[in-house]
Structure 1
Amino acid sequence: MADVVLTVGDVPGYVAGRPTLRGLVDADTLTVTEVGDGNLNLVFICVDAAGRRVVLKQALPYVRLVGPEWPMTELRAAREASALTVHGALSEHVCRLLDFDEEHNVLVLEDLSDHEVFRSRLNAGGAHDGIVERLSEYVADVAFGTSFLGLTEEEFRLRAAAAANPELCAISEALVFTEPFLGAERNSVRPSVAPLLAGLQADAAWVAAALDMKRAFLTRQEMLVHGDLHTGSVFVRGSGDGVSVKAFDSEFACYAPIGFDLGMLWANLVFAGMRAAVLGDDARADALFGSVETSWRVFAARFTAHWPERRDPAGYPDVFLDGWLTGILRDCFGFAGCEAARRTVGLAKVSDVETLDDAPYTAAASAMLRLSRTLLVGRAALGAEDVAGLCRKALGAAG
Structure 2
Amino acid sequence: MADAVLTVDEVPRYIAGRAVLRELVDPGTLTVSEIGDGNLNLVFVCADGAGGSLVLKQALPYVRLVGPDWPMTEERATREAAALRAHSALSDNVCRLIDFDPERYVLALEDLSDHEVFRTRLNAEGPHEGVAERLGEYVADVAFGTSFLALGEEEFRLRAAAAANPELCAITEDLIFTEPYLGAQRNSVRPAVEPVLAGLQADSDWVEAAMAMKHRFLTAGESLIHGDLHTGSVFVRGSGTQLSVKTFDAEFACYGPVGFDLGMMWANMFFAGARAAALGRQARAEGLYRTVESSWDTFAARMWQLWPRRRSPEKYPDSFLSGWLRVILQDGFGFAGCEAARRTIGLAKVSDLESLDDDAYTAAATAMLQLGRALLVDRMTMTFDRLLHPHLSGASAAL
Do they fold alike, i.e. is TM over 0.5?
yes
1:100 corresponds in structure 2 to: 100
Q: Distance in 2 between matches of 1:231 and 1:37?
A: 15
2:32 corresponds in structure 1 to: 32
| CA RMSD in angstroms, aligned pairs only | 1.3
Given residue 346 of structure 1, which amino acid in structure 2 is its aligned partner? G
Displacement, 1:322? 1.0
Q: Distance in 2 between matches of 1:357 and 1:394?
A: 26
Given residue 203 of structure 1, which amino acid in structure 2 is its aligned partner? D
Q: Is the 8 A contact 1:2 1:105 kept in 2?
A: no
**TM-score scaled by structure 1?**
0.98
Q: Is the 8 A contact 1:131 1:240 kept in 2?
A: no
Given residue 237 of structure 1, which amino acid in structure 2 is its aligned partner? R
Displacement, 1:133? 1.2
Q: Distance in 1 between matches of 2:175 and 2:343?
A: 9
1:355 corresponds in structure 2 to: 355
1:376 corresponds in structure 2 to: 376
1:246 corresponds in structure 2 to: 246
Q: Is the 8 A contact 2:387 2:395 kept in 1?
A: no
**TM-score scaled by structure 2?**
0.98
Q: Is the 8 A contact 2:274 2:364 kept in 1?
A: yes
Q: How does 1:10-29 map to 2 (within 5 A)?
A: 10-29=10-29
Q: Distance in 1 between matches of 2:349 and 2:247?
A: 19
Q: Structure 2 vs 1, CA of residues 158 and 390 (structure 1 numbering), >3 Å: closer, same or farther?
A: farther
Q: Secondary structure at the match of 2:148?
A: coil
Q: Distance in 2 between matches of 1:9 and 1:397?
A: 51
Q: Is the 8 A contact 1:363 1:395 kept in 2?
A: no
Q: Secondary structure at the match of 1:300?
A: helix
**Cα-to-partner distance string for 1:285-304 (whole Å, 9 max, x where unaligned):** 00001110101100000011
Displacement, 1:156? 0.4
Q: Distance in 2 between matches of 1:197 and 1:242?
A: 42
Q: How does 1:228-247 map to 2 (within 5 A)?
A: 228-247=228-247
Q: Is the 8 A contact 1:259 1:335 kept in 2?
A: yes
Q: Secondary structure at the match of 1:70?
A: strand
Q: Is the 8 A contact 1:201 1:207 kept in 2?
A: yes
For the pair 1:301 / 2:323, whether they are aligned, the reply is no
Q: Is the 8 A contact 1:178 1:211 kept in 2?
A: yes
1:388 corresponds in structure 2 to: 388
Displacement, 1:78? 0.5
Q: Is the 8 A contact 1:368 1:394 kept in 2?
A: no
2:202 corresponds in structure 1 to: 202
Q: Secondary structure at the match of 1:90?
A: coil
Q: Secondary structure at the match of 1:200?
A: helix
**Cα-to-partner distance string for 1:1-54 (whole Å, 9 max, x where unaligned):** 574100101101111111111101000000000000000000000000001000
Q: Structure 2 vs 1, CA of residues 394 and 380 (structure 1 numbering), >3 Å: closer, same or farther?
A: closer
**Cα-to-partner distance string for 1:259-299 (whole Å, 9 max, x where unaligned):** 00000000000000000001011110000011101011000
For the pair 1:214 / 2:217, whether they are aligned, the reply is no
Q: Distance in 1 between matches of 2:184 and 2:121?
A: 32
Displacement, 1:388? 2.1
Given residue 243 of structure 1, which amino acid in structure 2 is its aligned partner? L
Given residue 374 of structure 1, which amino acid in structure 2 is its aligned partner? A
Q: Structure 2 vs 1, CA of residues 390 and 26 (structure 1 numbering), >3 Å: closer, same or farther?
A: farther
**Runs (4+) off by over 6 Å:** none
Displacement, 1:197? 0.3
1:7 corresponds in structure 2 to: 7
Given residue 173 of structure 1, which amino acid in structure 2 is its aligned partner? E
Q: Distance in 2 between matches of 1:148 and 1:382?
A: 28
1:284 corresponds in structure 2 to: 284
Q: Is the 8 A contact 1:85 1:97 kept in 2?
A: yes
Given residue 307 of structure 1, which amino acid in structure 2 is its aligned partner? W
1:255 corresponds in structure 2 to: 255
Q: Unaligned stretches of 5+ in structure 1? A: none
Which shifted more, 90-99 or 15-24?
A: 15-24
The number of residue pairs the alignment matches comes to 398
Given residue 161 of structure 2, which amino acid in structure 1 is its aligned partner? A
Given residue 71 of structure 1, which amino acid in structure 2 is its aligned partner? P
For the pair 1:264 / 2:235, whether they are aligned, the reply is no
Q: Distance in 1 between matches of 2:189 and 2:2?
A: 37
**Cα-to-partner distance string for 1:210-266 (whole Å, 9 max, x where unaligned):** 000000000110010000000000000011222000000000000000100000000
Given residue 91 of structure 2, which amino acid in structure 1 is its aligned partner? S
2:134 corresponds in structure 1 to: 134
Displacement, 1:393? 5.4
